[in-house]
């Protein structure tokens, strides 16, 4: 039956890989070989991208706003640090998973507070939880090292084979591989019935409930999943920098993450990745030309993005590439960035 | 035979205001039952009580003879009680395929599947296709709901309720706000609902009520005034006085 095959085709359409996605990941991998002197900032971008992917899962898909996502980043970071420092789990990949699970537990426990209420309550509750954890980390300085942070963390070689080198090469490929694997999983999840139910809840929780979606249970599930992702990002931070200090919980970290998604857009998974690249490069660029006032310029860029609208910026940015593509492949072959605003 | 849906002494008040008073309603299997009443009679409250959006202060609600009074909204849906809304409650960014697909997935208990890609199950696709065809939505099946004409959105509102395969369907003013040109499609779809689905229709438009319903309950001030066949209700002097007014023809 033709209608049925159309339905199947359209339903699977978003889940199938677009060639631009393959190009994107090839470019990312190529960066690892083309810029061997920039491993540190590229690792930083990969971590930020993973962290932003985590926020996109709850914000872009389920519509849960958070100003305290650093809470889970911080738990992941300290867990990884403590596991390495006390030699509990020395193998980095296992420690990474363990740290992620610690953040997952915290995410599950706090999800019950977060799913209640509306956007403003959620902002306050998430912010409060992150501040609370930061204060606790400072109070229990015998465990966390207080304001000095954890001292003398040594990260064992990856899988017992690849030592973390001074140039950050191992760290970069480790972070990139982690990002890619978790991206694949997230991509699979958002195109599943579960992912669809999240988008439905974001659009209209009343209707979602009226077709049998257990709204609260789904929100708890995705919040817990996102906290796992954030915990992994935090653990990567500790493992690739051998540092864990109080600022992993900081408000600035949560707020920067929002800015990353403002730049990149939400609800199509690549927003966090593109946003992380643009945000860090802008930060680099502005702090090189004007070390004191870079924040002014970042602020200006954000205001422009919000006022002009990301959709329009994307159209402008893709104007020339599309002009060229049309010459070769006809009218219909254009590159477009899927758009869904938070 | 057990009524498809039954309320026993249902009561609800907001502060001092009694919006539902001792309401006992029996809706027979396969019935086309209409609930009418003037503005403020408490029709929407009854719907909200039946679907679980509101909890009653007193009384019980039975679906196919089973007490559902304390069940949450989504569980009642899975038990076979589905509804449409007076004002469309759809997903602006989702397509009709996704909207109906989710309802089908949830009914099958597969809505929580997080590893299977949407569209990979032939039986689900077939059911989505069937619903799209029945409600004339195949031409717009892959377009965002927000961009559809109002009449199509109204059809989707009914289609998504039917996709849950309800045994009892609550229709809250299905033709509300639909331009005259698209009205026929909606009413024809409502009339063509399968007979095994019991329908409770909440409606203002008397033409729709009298052409569709085989039984009518009249609600006034939250209490049942009269119940009977369309002829009985149309003849009833109380109904004429209180609700239909003198202008209504019998």
Instruction: Quickly name the fold that domain B5-90+164-244 has.
Output: Rossmann fold (3.40.50)
The pTM of the full predicted model, rounded to 2 decimals, is 0.90
In a mutational test of the A interface, the residue from B112, B133, B162 whose CB has the highest number of chain A CBs within 10 Å is B112
Shortest Cα distance from A204 to chain B (angstroms)?
A: 6
Residue A207 has its nearest CB partner, among B91, B95, B119, at B91
d(CA A231, CA A104): 7
DSSP secondary structure string for all residues of B135-155: TT-GGGTTS-GGGS-HHHHHH
Is A209 domain-assigned? yes
- Compute the nearest-CA separation of B18 from chain A (Å): 25
Q: Which residues of B touch A203 (CB under 8 A)?
A: 90-94
Residue ranges of the alpha helices (H) in chain A? Answer: 2-13, 19-34, 39-56, 70-85, 92-114, 119-139, 141-144, 169-190, 193-203, 205-210, 215-241, 251-264, 270-289, 294-308, 310-317, 319-329
Q: Please state, in angstroms and rounded to a whole number, the distance separating the CA atoms of residues A75 and A188.
A: 26
Question: CB–CB of B118 and A6 under 8 A?
Answer: no
Set of chain B residues whose Cβ sits within 8 Å of the Cβ of A207: 85, 89-91, 160
**Residue numbers in B near A1 (CB within 8 A):** 126, 129
Does residue A167 fall inside a structural domain? yes
Is B113 in CB contact (< 8 Å) with chain A? Answer: yes
Nearest Cα residue in chain B from A9: B119
pLDDT per residue over B114-147, tens digit each?
988 888 889 999 999 999 999 999 999 999 999 9
* Chain A residues with at least one Cβ partner in B under 8 Å: 1, 3-13, 15, 188-189, 191-197, 199-200, 203-204, 206-215, 217-218, 221, 340
Give residue limits of the domains in chain B.
5-90+164-244
The minimal CB distance from B74 to the residues A188, A199, A213 is found for A213
Where in the sequence is the domain holding A115, given as residue range(s)?
A: 17-308
Cα gap A244→B130, rounded to integer Å: 57
Q: Length of chain B, please?
A: 250
Digitized pLDDT (tens) for each residue of chain A, 342 residues in all: 578 888 988 888 888 898 889 999 999 999 999 998 899 999 999 999 999 999 999 999 999 999 999 999 999 999 999 999 998 988 999 999 999 999 999 999 999 999 987 889 999 999 999 999 999 999 998 888 888 888 888 888 888 888 888 888 899 999 999 999 999 999 999 999 999 999 999 999 999 999 999 999 999 999 999 999 999 999 999 999 998 999 999 999 999 999 999 888 889 999 999 999 999 999 889 988 888 888 888 888 888 888 887 777 777 777 777 777 666 665 555 555 554 443
Q: Is the pLDDT of residue B81 over 60?
A: yes
Chain A residues with beta carbon closer than 8 angstroms to that of B89? 204, 206-207, 210
* Contact state of A4 with B101 under an 8 Å Cβ cutoff: no
Domain of A129, CATH number, reads 1.10.3470
Count structural domains, chain A: 1
What pLDDT is stored for residue B248 in this prediction?
43
Q: Distance from CA of residue B126 to its chain's centroid?
A: 24
Among candidate residues B126, B125, B116, B101, the one with its CA nearest the CA of residue A200? B101
pLDDT at B250 over 50: no
For B122, nearest residue in chain A (alpha carbons): A8
* Minimum Cα–Cα distance from B136: chain A residue: A3
Please report the number of interchain residue pairs, chain A to chain B, with beta-carbon separation below 8 angstroms. Answer: 157
């Amino acid at each position: 039956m033709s209608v049925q095959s159309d339905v199947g085709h359209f339903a699977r359409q978003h889940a199938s890989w677009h060639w631009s996605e393959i190009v994107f990941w090839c470019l990312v991998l190529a960066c690892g070989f083309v810029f061997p002197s920039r491993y540190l900032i590229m690792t930083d971008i990969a971590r930020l991208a993973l962290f932003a992917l985590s926020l996109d899962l709850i914000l872009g898909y389920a519509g849960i706003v958070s100003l305290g996502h650093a809470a889970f980043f911080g738990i992941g970071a300290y867990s990884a640090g403590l596991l390495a420092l006390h030699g509990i789990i020395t193998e980095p990949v296992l420690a990474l998973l363990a740290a992620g699970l610690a953040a997952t537990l915290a995410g599950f426990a706090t999800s019950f507070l977060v799913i209640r209420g509306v956007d403003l309550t959620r902002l306050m509750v998430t912010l409060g939880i992150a501040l609370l954890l930061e204060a606790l980390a400072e109070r229990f300085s015998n465990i966390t090292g207080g304001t000095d942070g954890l001292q003398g963390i040594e990260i064992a070689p990856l899988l017992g084979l690849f030592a973390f080198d001074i140039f950050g090469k191992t760290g970069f490929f480790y972070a990139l591989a982690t990002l890619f694997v978790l991206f694949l999983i997230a991509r699979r999840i958002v195109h599943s019935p579960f992912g669809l139910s999240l988008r439905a809840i974001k659009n209209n929780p009343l209707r979602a409930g009226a077709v049998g979606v257990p709204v609260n249970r789904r929100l708890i599930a995705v919040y817990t999943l996102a906290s796992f992702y954030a915990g992994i990002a935090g653990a990567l931070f500790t493992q690739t920098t051998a540092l864990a200090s109080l600022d992993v919980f900081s408000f600035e970290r949560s707020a920067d993450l929002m800015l990353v998604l403002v730049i990149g857009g939400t609800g199509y998974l690549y927003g966090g990745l593109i946003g992380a690249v643009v945000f860090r490069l802008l930060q680099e660029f502005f702090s090189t030309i004007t070390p004191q006032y870079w924040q002014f310029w970042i602020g200006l860029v954000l205001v422009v993005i919000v006022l002009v609208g990301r959709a329009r910026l994307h159209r402008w940015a893709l104007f020339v590439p599309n002009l060229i593509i049309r010459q070769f492949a006809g009218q219909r072959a254009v590159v477009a960035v899927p758009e869904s605003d938070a | 035979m057990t009524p498809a849906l039954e309320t026993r002494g249902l009561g609800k008040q907001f502060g001092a205001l009694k919006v539902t008073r001792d309401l006992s309603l029996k809706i027979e299997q396969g019935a086309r039952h209409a609930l009418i009443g003037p503005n403020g009679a408490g029709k929407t409250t009854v719907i909200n009580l039946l679907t679980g959006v509101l909890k009653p202060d007193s009384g019980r609600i039975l679906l196919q003879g089973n007490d559902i009074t304390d069940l949450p909204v989504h569980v009642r849906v899975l038990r076979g009680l589905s509804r449409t809304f007076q004002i469309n409650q759809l997903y602006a960014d989702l397509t009709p395929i996704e909207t109906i697909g989710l309802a089908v997935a949830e009914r099958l208990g597969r809505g929580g599947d997080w590893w299977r890609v949407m569209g990979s199950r032939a039986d689900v696709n077939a059911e989505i296709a069937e619903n799209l065809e029945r409600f004339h939505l195949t031409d717009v099946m892959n377009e965002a709901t927000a961009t559809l004409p109002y009449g199509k959105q109204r059809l989707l509102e009914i289609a998504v309720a039917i996709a849950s395969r309800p045994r009892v369907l609550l229709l809250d003013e299905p033709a509300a706000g639909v331009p005259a040109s698209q009205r026929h499609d909606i009413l024809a779809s409502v009339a063509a609902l399968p007979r095994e689905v019991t329908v409770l229709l909440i409606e203002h438009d008397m033409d729709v009520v009298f052409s569709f319903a085989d039984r009518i309950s009249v609600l006034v001030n939250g209490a049942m005034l009269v119940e009977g066949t369309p002829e009985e209700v149309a003849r009833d002097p109380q109904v004429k006085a209180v609700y239909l007014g003198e202008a209504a023809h019998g």
